[in-house]
Amino acid sequence: MESDPNSPPDGDRDSPRDSPRDEQEPAADDQAQPFMLEATGFRGRLLRLGPALDVILGRHDYPGPVAQTMAELLALAALVSSLLKHDGIFTLQVKGNGPLGLAVADVTHDGKLRGYAQFDREAFAEAENGGAPPTLGEVFGEGYLVYTLDQAGDGRRYQGIVELTGERLADSMQHYFRQSEQVNAGLALVAERGPRGWRAGALLIQQLPEEPGGKLQAVSSHEEDDWRRALVLMSSCTPGELLDVTLPPHDLLYRLFHEEGVRVFEPLPYIEACRCSRQRIETTLQSLPRDELQSLKQDDDKLVVTCQFCNRVYHFEEADLAALEVG
């Protein structure tokens, strides 16, 4: 397994729209809307997840704090993936020594999103009674955020690791951008369960290095003022606006950044889709020694495999196992 501490090739998935902002465009869910502030060259993303997110979380009986954390992680995975030009799988995972030991979200280059969590249910029992959302430390304990891009075709793997920082996952992601990617970034992230089910929204702006793969250079006072102004404008976006299914992305971006000359690009769609299949599981089973395979059988002499991502259950009878010719 190749691990490259450097960042992945800097690519932009944006393709410009020929048409101006359409006043009649309906609100859109499960997509990332790329944009650029033409006055400054800052780029950004406006992300909204709705039905896809609700389906993923609905497949699991997660305690409230775990579902909240997974909603934020899935939104971050979709958001960061939208910044990359790649033909493979982007994975964002958090590992810790707390009651939520592992949270994973991954997304393919064509927008197929999935995720799962491993946690101590008893430790979260008291949290189900309500109260403020737990902090990263309360959920994960001491831990770290791992960013992985597996490129299809050439088999390359790019990976970055950063310690968990701040109260929320967005804090750790911003820290990662600054420390590992050498990119100034402003990030707003919100997720909640409402009458329509789980929804998440995120808004990101970035001040990129002057040269691809380069470090941020010293900036003039004018450039600093531009960046601060962009952050102030971004901070005026409310959580309700990020989640509002009736507010079209173009309308929100125009309200926030119209004085900066906001330019939008083709949106990037996301769907809930697990990549598990019976054939994949059979391939895995074929690689196991016969003794180990036999030890996995249940009392009724069947083998049952459950996908951690989608909770789909696959049953293998004795005849099925024999046909695999394992061992």
Domain count, the chain: 2
CB burial string 210-248: b at 16+ within 10 A, e below: eeeeeeeeeeeeeeeebbeebeebbeebeeebbbbeebb
Residue 86 included in any domain: yes
On the question of pLDDT at 219 being above 80, the answer is no
Average pLDDT value over all residues in the chain = 85
On the question of pLDDT at 212 being above 80, the answer is no
Asked if residues 187 and 196 have their Cβ atoms less than 8 Å apart, the reply is no
Give the Cα separation of 150 and 138 in Å (integer): 31
Cα 60 to chain centroid distance, Å, stands at 18
Residue 68 included in any domain: yes
Residues 315 and 167 in one domain: no
Residues 39 and 174 in one domain: yes
Residue 12 included in any domain: no
Residues 42 and 178 in one domain: yes
On the question of pLDDT at 13 being above 60, the answer is no
Last residue of a domain, one of 272, 287, 314: 272
Asked if residues 267 and 249 have their Cβ atoms less than 8 Å apart, the reply is yes
Q: Which two tokens mark 70?
A: 């997974």
Residues 172 and 206 in one domain: yes
Domain limits at 121?
31-272
Q: What is the pLDDT of residues 150-172, one digit of tens each?
A: 987 677 889 999 999 999 999 99
Q: What is the pLDDT of residues 91-146, one digit of tens each?
A: 999 999 999 999 999 999 999 999 999 999 988 876 555 556 778 999 999 999 99
Which has more confidence, 153 or 305? Answer: 305
On the question of pLDDT at 202 being above 60, the answer is yes
Q: What secondary structure letter does DSSP report for 265?
A: B
